[in-house]
A and B are shown apart, each in its own frame.
Chain A
């Protein structure tokens, strides 16, 4: 029995229950399913054997591997499943069939894609993540959300099309659809697949779909969205492009530029979206380094990040749910009415800022060490700058302007119990995997799940030929330097605030690359529409007149009453026609 259950991709279960859930009208029954399914899925994953093709299928001559677990996919899949459980609990206060179902199906698609054993299977679930997640934005029910959802869907589907295109090249040149890592961009399909992943991982200049769509999603939707799409892309990069030097630099740029946007952004859910971008940068950079330590760093960071970023989105969601806005300029002093939310938000904030004893610290330390060991000095300095930047926007700005700072006078009820429960569970994980290992409890649990362990290393750990060594985050050096960095940054905050040098939170729209699409791009389309509206009928009329005139000319020449029909020519015409036909027949006869 356990053998059979261990052979079904847990993602498929989530997708099926998710789609079925959209049809169940009874709230309690539906939500019980939404909570129970991830738990069952985690048990299924625990039963699965590692490193073999657990489920295969043959479709139109393609051999698909529907379920394969190894140490790299395991940690991502597990993080996705835990996130989907927390999300289901967080959503219990709402009664929205479509949102409940699609949230689970979306999580399922991400899990199924993670455990896909070939490119075609990956592609199929890649697309399901796009289609199911768009409902989480649409359900917000505003015009802005509708328009953002359409832009989001366009971008996501485009990524899928690129992936399909790329995998076709791979299949044509190698005859297989295996997920084997690329070694250079010259391999057929490598660039296309890279671009497909790059869109979903929100690379610089391709990033803005994220900050456009996530803050416009529903309260629950933004929490759900924050976990899956981008980390699936990170997983895909770790699987297929480990050790590509270009990723180091792209990742470093990704960590730095969102810091500046996050400082001036007023919508705190958008600040979190920029922060999400910055965190992805650390993971992408680590994958570019590609040593076992770095791959471990990326995986650990992804795991920790899914939980603490979810927690931060949950706390801002709770505020948005009670107050009706998540704008820094309108909030403040909420600790007086939402103490539990405040505590959980602070735990998320210190985790993402990588304070020792919290999950961000044990995860980020590996990436930083890997970058330093490989001698990328400038990249290392950029990441260090970004670490201070994270503290600014996620560590201080989010909790300070919401819960402390200027008292807005807003008094609301504390968040609903289910929200607090989900936040509490996430906060517990943030601390549990960040503590030093004492009696089997602490970061050791996370580190034992990492892809590159001595006992069962994933394929990706071998590419650089580097040795796999155990890593210890809690050394005097690490703790001391990290605390120095953070405490002096905090000191800078207090001083800047005291001297009035901290820029005030102002309402407004911050321009980003989406401006190109939404202003000149939209204007171009509108202009083209207007031009076509006028030019279309004119062109039709012009060609109509041309046609009529040509027909008239032909008629006056060739019709029975036309110029050619008159006089003795008619007879010779008939003669010549007969001669020509005869010649053609002769040629055909000789040729055959």
Chain B
């Protein structure tokens, strides 16, 4: 069976539906439940966004209260690092679109795609 690869909502390739094991949480590692049980909650993404936003903006507010003394004058501007961090990250990620188009070739481009390593667990 050689169906064309499907993509899910985030654009990632997944195997055809019938070949996909249905994710279920009943066999979850007990430690995972304890440590990361909150991850699969539907509210988590929104909570994380709000939390990050609050911390990030809080850091800028603190910046107004602190009188920094950097060697480079422009770095003393309030929120300079915040803007630089945001822009740099966004630039790096967004450049992935054109760069992917430009540089990505078929997986077997060099004729050496997918072979299993010798020291990988065999029954996996």
Contact = CB atoms under 8 A, between A and B. Distances in A.
Contact of B29 (A260, A336, A486, A487): A336
Nearest to B72: A372
A265 to B, nearest CB: 9
A477 interface: yes
A322 B117 CA distance: 12
A335, A375, A487: residue with the most chain B Cβ atoms closer than 10 Å: A487
Contacts of B103: 264, 510-512
B17 to A, nearest CB: 11
Contacts of A480: 59, 62-63, 66, 68
Interface stretch (A136-144, A233-241, A557-565): A136-144
Interface string B45-87: 1001100110110011011001011111001000101111110
Contacts of B120: 219, 320-321, 324
Interface stretch (A171-179, A447-455, A494-502, A527-535): A494-502
A484 interface: yes
Interface string B84-120: 1110111111111101100111111110100111111
B112 to A, nearest CB: 4
Interface in A507-526: 507-512, 518
Given A141-B117, A338-B29, A385 B12 contact: no
A491 B95 contact: no
B104 A388 contact: no
A67 to B, nearest CB: 34
Contacts of B56: 484, 487-488, 490-491
A342 interface: yes
A504 interface: yes
Nearest to A141: B118
Contact of B92 (A259, A322, A481): A259
A487 B106 contact: no
B119 A219 contact: yes
Interface residues of B, number: 75
A508 B104 contact: yes
Nearest to A370: B71
B21 A410 contact: yes
A342 to B, nearest CB: 7
A412 interface: yes
B42 interface: no
A32 B53 CA distance: 50
A391 B25 CA distance: 30
A492 B110 contact: no
Contacts of B118: 139-142, 218
Contacts of B107: 507-509
Interface string A557-591: 00000000000000000000000000000000000
A498 B48 CA distance: 12
A141 B115 CA distance: 9
A218 B104 contact: no
Contacts of B60: 484
A487 B25 contact: no
Contact of A321 (B83, B95, B121): B121
Contacts of B34: 339
Given A96-B119, A508-B107, A392 B92 contact: yes
Contacts of A335: 32, 36, 39
Interface stretch (A158-166, A189-197, A401-409): A401-409
B70 to A, nearest CB: 7
A369 B25 CA distance: 47
B94, B96, B104: residue with the most chain A Cβ atoms closer than 10 Å: B96
Given A484-B85, A487-B52, A496 B119 contact: no
Interface of B: 7-8, 10-14, 20-23, 25, 27-29, 31-32, 34-36, 39, 45, 48-49, 52-53, 55-56, 59-60, 62-63, 66, 68-72, 75, 79, 81-86, 88-97, 99-100, 103-110, 112, 115-121, 124
5 contacts: A336-B32, A388-B85, A389-B89, A494-B48, A509-B110
Top 3 A-B pairs, shortest CB-CB distance: A504-B11, A141-B118, A144-B112
